[in-house]
Structure formats: C-alpha cells, structure tokens
Amino acid sequence: MKELRFAVFGAGFWTRYQLSGWRELKGARCVAIYNRTRAKAEAIAREFNIPAAYDDAGELLRREKPDFVDNITEVGGHKPLTLLAIRLRTPVICQKPMAASLADARQMVAAARKAKVPFLVHENWRWQTPLRAVKQVLDSGRIGTPFRARIDMISGFDCWTNQPALRDLEQFILADLGAHILDVARLFFGEAEALVCRTHKTLAPAVKGENVATVMLTMGKAKTTVLCELAYARTPLERECFPETLMFVEGDKGSIELGPDYWICLTTGDGTHARRWPPPRYAWADPAYAIAHASIVPCCANLLAALRGTGRAETTGEDNLKTLELVFGAYESARRGKVIGF
C-alpha cells in the first residue's frame, strides 16, 4: 500500500515525541508542519527533515494536500483547526482532550460525521503496556466478573515545568488527566450508568484549575463500582512514579493488581502469580515520561491502520465523545454536589 503523507499542526512540547513515534512506523511520512509562530515550526522542520513549514494552516492544507493531519496543538487549537481540516476534507487526528467543552466536542464530531471525513483522537494512555496486559486478563475471565475496581494516577511529579500552559487552565486535572483515566475505565468496564465527583485545589501554587479529583462510577452490564483517584498535589509523600497508572480490580473469581514499576499480580484459586510488564524503550523518549511516550507508537499504529483501511480505530471522535461526557459530567457533579446519570 502507498505511503500516507501527513502534516502536523503545533510545535510544542509533545510534538517531538509524537513525530518520533510516527517514525517508528512504516507507511506514514510527515511532509509539512504548521505553527502560529513560524520560527517554531521551522525549528521542528529542520530537526525532523520536514520539507515545509507554515504559519497558515489553511495554506498548508491547500498547497500540500496531506492524506491526514495530526493536530498536536494546545486545547485551544483543537476545535478551529480540526474543523478547518474537516471543511477541506482532510482526515484529522486530534490530541486529547478533544475540546474545551462538551458542546465544542459534539460540534466537531457532528461536522466530521456530516462531511464523512475520518476524525480520530490520539488517546495513547490506553495503549500503555501494563494496561493492555491487565485488559487481556480481564477479557480472559480469569478473575470472573469484576464488581469493584480502583484506578489511581497520583503523583508528585511537576507536570507544569514542561507544559506551563497547564497552569492557566480553568479546568485542569479532570480535563487533562481525567480524559485518560476515564477512557481507560470505559475500555475495561464498559459505559457509565452514573458518577459522582469531588475536586480540590491544594498544594499547587499558581495553578488555576483543580489538581485533585475523585470520581466514583457505576459501569457496564456488571454495574462495576469504579473509583478513579487523580492528583498532582505534590505532597511530600506522593510517589514519583509518573506517569504510571496503578489499579486493583476485584472479581468473583479473583483479583488483579497493577503496582509500581509495572508489576502485575494475579490472584485466583490457583494462587498468586506476578510478572513485570515494562514498556518498550525508545532512545528518543524522555525517561521521566517513558511509559507515556512508548504508548504513542501502538496508538499511532492503530490510527494509521484505520486511515489506511486495514484496521479499526479504537479512539474515534465518536467514541472519545463518550469519554468527554464523563469528564464534563464529573465537573457538573463536583459543582452541584449531585450524582450524574447517563
């Protein structure tokens, strides 16, 4: 099959890692990059041997006619640039969170549906090696039907140094990290029936949005109780295992635990068995983000297969809209102090 030519929108912190992830795959080549500050686009273009750099996204699309666009801008650029690509009938991949509001996300999905233009979301968290291993166990039925689960991403890591724009978000941890964790909960346990959420802002100076959130959901046909705990609180005792997700799932035939350093313990009537599931290592990945950066590659592989017509994308715009309904439902629950049904 022919190689797909793609363009990148955005030249920020994540762009280098996204481009490096694409380079690990065959069948896609970056031919142009856009950034509103042209000098930043040109710097990335030189570093990655990208032939063309633009400060006008429309001009890029009209002149280069890429097979698809990877929109890696900050959240404020997601809606306008995605809608631009859709209007010009260019398939588009968008970073998470898809949009800054549920209304905007619905508009983006509706526009893609009406135009019949592929619209995908780069939701890489679910592709982390140990999380895929946990999913295999759950799918195998070895612990039976899950009735209770806890998913934790609590870290003292300073996420604001590399991504200072996160400091200025009115909605922070649920929109940024919750989009990942609630997507994982859906992948593992099905769609939510109801949720309740509490948020806090604590021990994080000069951060506008909430940096601690607790979400409890009822999910799937089994009505599994799922507790999601999120925090970048930077308290003295918080672990530095960013960005590792920890889990404990109880079923009627056993349990599975994902602990620090990628260890998975499976307990059934046959006893307890432990195995470590580390991510693959890439020379270009930042060691502090190793598991997140490694997950870019299988995520891009899945989306590329869908764009080539040889596979099904797990995280379409339509699917990711269900995750954002949980994100913004959690904000509503925290604001009103109420259980939100779906």
pLDDT, mean over the chain: 93
Residue 337, pLDDT score: 96
312-341 pLDDT, tens per residue?
999 999 999 999 999 999 999 999 999 999
Residue 105, number of CB atoms within 10 A of its CB: 25
Give the predicted TM-score (pTM) of the model: 0.93
93 phi and psi angles, rounded to 5 deg: -105, 130
Q: Break the chain into its structural domains and give their ranges.
A: 4-122, 128-288+317-341
**Cα distance between residue 289 and residue 279, in whole Å:** 11
- What is the per-residue burial (b if ≥16 Cβ within 10 Å, else e) of 171-192? bbbbbbbbbbbbbbbbbbbbeb
**Cα distance between residue 280 and residue 298, in whole Å:** 11
205-264 pLDDT, tens per residue?
677 778 899 999 999 999 999 999 998 866 655 565 667 899 999 999 999 999 999 999
Residue 126, pLDDT score: 97
Mean pLDDT of 105-115: 98
Angle CA 224–226–232, to nearest 5: 170
The more confident residue out of 305 and 209 is 305
The reply to whether 128-288+317-341 shares the fold of 4-122 is no
Res. 46: pLDDT tops 70: yes
Closest by CA position to 286, among listed 155, 172, 162: 162
Q: Which fold has domain 128-288+317-341?
A: Dihydrodipicolinate Reductase; domain 2 (3.30.360)
Mean pLDDT of 274-292: 93
- The CATH architecture to which 4-122 belongs is 3-Layer(aba) Sandwich (3.40)
